[in-house]
Amino acid sequence: MCEKYDIDDKTRFLVLYFDAQMSIQEISNRIDRSVRTLEAWVRRVKKGEDIRMRIKRKQHKKSISEETENKVIQMLKENPEIASTTKLAARIGITRKSVAKILAKKGYKYKAVVIDSSIKYSEEERLDRVDFCTKMLSDDGRLIYLSFFSDEMGIDLNKTHKTKAWQTSTEKVIKKNAAGNVKLNCWGAISAQGATSLDIYEKTINGNSFREVIERHRAEMGMLYSEGEFYFVQDNHPAHKVNEEWIIKEQKLELIKLPKRSPDLNIIENLWAALKERIKYDAPTNERELRASLLRNWEILTKKDRLRPFFDGLHRRYLECISKDGQKLPY
């Protein structure tokens, strides 16, 4: 009945306690309130208080002055790596809890710092990058469309699984663990006309093994440019540098060397990133599955119609490098 007329619990308590003369336990059972709460109400009633009136809490005066807040922030700016709020509190003469409140109020969180890994080029290196881009863009970007951009990529089986997925508290996404710590290396070369097949090997490449890789794929490059004119672009990896003369004289390749420390000017880096993302989607669990995923996805990504936009985008990339005086570009 009381619920029907929306009578609050405190009014019900007063009626049952004074009029019905019920015990605290009986009232607790009737209105579903704890005995401890009801005993507190009885004490207030005996003091002549109206328990239906809200108790006005005293407002505490602000204990942390703006000057103190500024001191804490100033100390952080002078030494942002200091982790101990206890030490901060001791130096300023306030409690650790107060320091925590100030930091929370100001939006400070102790978390990983951003490491500046950006490449700082010397003036000579920047000029080399600008010269390279200017050369590649000459004659309407002719060299861009006649070049194979080559490079190596390493891949770790344990890092081919995504660690996050959309799921609910009752429906968990479970994936198989990778079997063993398998690491593979790949070599490939892409052009506007197509690509070589993907070369997969286990050991880190050196001068001799790099020669073997080029010999395995030299004919593929020639078939894609049947008229015979094409160029071979590579970076300054030691295994590449030691074979520069061999590439030119023995393999009869027109060699174009990337400027030092310039992966952002090698379009194959974008393809490696796309390939790794596809491998994560496949989530291989052993070496056999990893190799199969690499080969299948390389074949898909290196179809001529898929590669063409990569090379069209090189014009914009090289123009941007020139406009930025050879500074590093995102990729």
Q: What pLDDT, in 10s, does the model give residues 123-153?
A: 999 999 999 999 999 999 999 999 999 999 9
pLDDT number for residue 4: 45
pLDDT over threshold 60, residue 178 = no
pLDDT over threshold 90, residue 330 = no
Contact 143, 231 (CB under 8 A): yes
pLDDT in tens, 188-216: 999 999 999 999 999 899 999 999 999 99
pLDDT number for residue 27: 86
pLDDT number for residue 190: 97
Bridge partners for 194 per DSSP: 191
Q: What's the whole-number mean pLDDT along residues 18-33?
A: 86
- DSSP state at residue 30: H
Q: Tell me the C-alpha to C-alpha distance, in Å, between residue 268 and each of 30, 34, 126, 296.
A: 76, 70, 21, 17
CATH level 2 (architecture), domain 125-323: 2-Layer Sandwich (3.30)
Contact 287, 184 (CB under 8 A): yes
- pTM here? 0.63
pLDDT number for residue 24: 87
Q: Could you tell me how many helices (H) and strands (E) the chain has, helices first? A: 13, 6
pLDDT number for residue 164: 58
pLDDT in tens, 64-92: 888 888 888 888 887 877 777 888 888 88
d(Cα 222, Cα 237) in Å, to the nearest integer? 24
Q: How many CB atoms lie within 10 A of CB 324?
A: 13
pLDDT number for residue 22: 86
Contact 302, 190 (CB under 8 A): yes
| β 194-195/183-191 pair status | antiparallel
Collapsing DSSP states into helix, strand and coil, what is residue 35?
helix
d(Cα 110, Cα 9) in Å, to the nearest integer? 46
pLDDT in tens, 250-296: 999 999 999 999 999 999 999 999 999 999 888 898 999 999 999 99
Rg, C-alpha atoms of the chain: 36
| β 194-195/231-234 pair status | unpaired
pLDDT number for residue 144: 95
d(Cα 331, Cα 296) in Å, to the nearest integer? 24
